[in-house]
Structure 1
Amino acid sequence: MAPIDLNGYDLAELKGLLFDIEQEIKRRARDERDRARERIHALAADAGIPLDALVKTAAPRYRNPADNGQTWTGRGRQPRWIAEALASGRSLDDFKI
């Protein structure tokens, strides 16, 4: 790809371009993810395997005492209620199920 000369753009125009580029990147990433999901579903269906048999789900290990509907498996990003509790000095053990 040839380099783009951005010297003719003022700051507001450059920020507008940056916003447009970020939106396009997000759209394309979403489209790629959706196409991959469709391929996975098709492969599972062709094999006669229910998709949920291929995806391992973890049981929740922690529960928010203030809202029993909020749980966390201990995997991935910490929910806000866990992060805030840990920041205030509480322990993960306080939330074990």
Structure 2
Amino acid sequence: MAPKKIDFESWSLDELWALHGEISGILSARIRAEKGELEKRLAVLSHGTIIADDLGDLQPSGKPRRNYPRVLPKYRNPQTSETWSGRGKRPRWLVAAVKSGRKIEEFRISEAGTKARQRA
């Protein structure tokens, strides 16, 4: 069943203004309600962020991040002295060197140097 088409052209100016006022009131109430709901959702989301910021990490849960021991570098770029611990993705300089035919062990930092750094 199709809704009836209203002929607004036949309405008087007072009737149109009254309808305009009624529609504006309804729209403002709905917009305020929607804004209130969005502000509540935002408060919940920002509250989780505040908790994470207070803990010093970006995890939204209240559980603190595990402390991992510092890992000393195992490989060094002789040209720029950049280092890599051997964890994570290989650095570009090492990938390029291996592709050019060099062996990864050529870039390994000697154990004697590592022991001296550990004492320091």
TM-score, normalization by structure 2: 0.38
More strand by share: 1
Whichever of the two has the greater Rg, that structure is: 2
TM-score, normalization by structure 1: 0.46
Q: Which has the higher contact order (CA 8 A, sep 6+)?
A: 1
